[in-house]
Copies of this chain bind each other. A is one copy, B any other.
Amino acid sequence: MYTTLPPTGMRDFLPKEKEAREYVMREIRNEYKCSGFTEIETSFLENIENLTGGDGGENTKLIFKVLKRGEKLENADFNNLESLADLGLRFDLTLPLVRFYSNNRNELPVIFKAIQMGTVFRAERPQKGRYRAFTQCDIDIIGDASNLAEVEIIQTIASTLKRLSFKDFNIKLNDRRILKSLVTSAGFSEDDFSDIAIILDKMDKIGIEGIKKELAEKGYADTQIDQLLVHSAKLENEGLEGIKEICPEGYENVKQIMDVIKSLEDDFTITFDHTLVRGMGYYTSTIFEITYGNLGYAIAGGGRYDKMIGKISGVDVPAVGFSIGFERIVDLLISENKVTSTDEKIALIYSEQDALAQVVKAAIQMRANTAVVSLYQLKKKLGKQLKQLEKAGYTGYVLYSEHLEVKRFEV
């Protein structure tokens, strides 16, 4: 059945919305570029094995899979649903970046600073505020093992948010190695780290008692759980200094990054947060997230993933990435009324008696000095027509004559 709505969870964008989106995209792209990042683009579709086989975590359950075609479909094994699809829509930009880098390494600089801005797709259960197609704006630095990469990436994201008029946001910083030390020094096995990290990630939702309960339900020993919470409380009190002895390399890393960013003396803050976990399994050390105001979610997040490229290309290449949650940023900017166009937009109104060629020439001429000049034939009721034009975002109009006098709408 034909339907005029976009599919469930998908969206169309009206001119006003699209203008806001394009404005935000442009600002982000320009700021990323200023800092020496260069943009690449990867395919929307990936071979299905690349998507299902890797480090995608929960996202691998949310793939939009593309049906095989022609003979391949006819020959597929219909008892095995897995064999029906050969392609899938990308669910993030990191997996494609790693594939791209592995494929093009010889063409790319030794330290590759990449921008990726594009739509990703996840077959989430439909619910309010969850989109099945959304835009991500990523930067990644591949090939730099030093934490200059973290500094650059954090500074670039902070500059970008400032350019978009965000102030007083907070950058939360942690290191997976610190988390791991906390867990192992409490007596847990290193193999249990991922499971425990998933539970620790819920700290701000379920609190210490909740964490305790969930760990106990998983069958971990009370002594270990208590020890973990004692360590955690110590960090809560002492901050970063509290980890210095248990995890010196994590301590040094976080301290160095924080010292540089703090010394920029800017109007945002950076804090160590030992409860920060970040979902993806591929992060190896530094992880970060940006929070803003009282929002219950991060507006940007990322971390270092030094082992992911090695898994594919056989050679470990260090990498660190940061992603801006584009949809959230756009929604915030629109709600705070911070995307308003100042472009002059003029309607050139002519009547049937006017020679069309002359009118078109006049429009071309006017466009040399005015952002937008659009032609409209005079309607019977000029007043009504002008109201429609104003509603459509025109800032003024010209009634075609030999003198092209612009009359601006009152604001």
The complex places the Cα of A113 from the Cα of B53 at a distance, in Å, of: 45
Interface residues of A in 158-214 (CB under 8 A from B): 159
The complex places the Cα of A39 from the Cα of B44 at a distance, in Å, of: 22
Interface residues of A in 85-99 (CB under 8 A from B): 85-87, 89, 96, 99
Pick from B39, B260, B364: contact of A159, CB under 8 Å: B364
Q: Quote the shortest CB–CB distance from A373 to chain B (angstroms).
A: 7
Pick from B12, B41, B364: contact of A100, CB under 8 Å: B12
The complex places the Cα of A50 from the Cα of B47 at a distance, in Å, of: 26
Residue of B nearest to A33 (CB): B372
**A123 within 8 A of partner (CB):** yes
| B65 and A4 within 8 A (CB) | no
Pick from B44, B108, B375: contact of A119, CB under 8 Å: B44
Pick from B33, B87, B374: contact of A7, CB under 8 Å: B87
The size bracket of the interface on A is 35 or more
The complex places the Cα of A197 from the Cα of B96 at a distance, in Å, of: 44
Pick from B5, B65, B110, B363: contact of A103, CB under 8 Å: B5
Q: Quote the shortest CB–CB distance from A109 to chain B (angstroms).
A: 4
Residue of B nearest to A257 (CB): B356
**A49 within 8 A of partner (CB):** yes
11 additional A-B pairs beyond A19-B38, A43-B133, beta carbons within 8 Å, are: A4-B102, A6-B99, A7-B47, A15-B108, A21-B41, A34-B367, A36-B374, A64-B67, A73-B81, A109-B388, A264-B364
Q: Interface of A with B (CB < 8 Å)?
A: 1-7, 10-15, 18-19, 21-22, 29, 33-47, 49-50, 53-54, 64-67, 69, 73, 78, 81, 84-87, 89, 96, 99-100, 102-104, 107-111, 113-114, 119, 121, 123, 133, 146, 148, 151-152, 155, 159, 259-260, 263-264, 312-313, 345, 347, 356-357, 360-361, 363-364, 367, 371-377, 388-389, 391-393
- Pairs A–B under 8 Å by Cβ, sample size 13: A4-B100, A4-B313, A12-B41, A12-B43, A12-B100, A13-B41, A15-B108, A22-B39, A33-B372, A34-B373, A35-B374, A65-B66, A260-B360
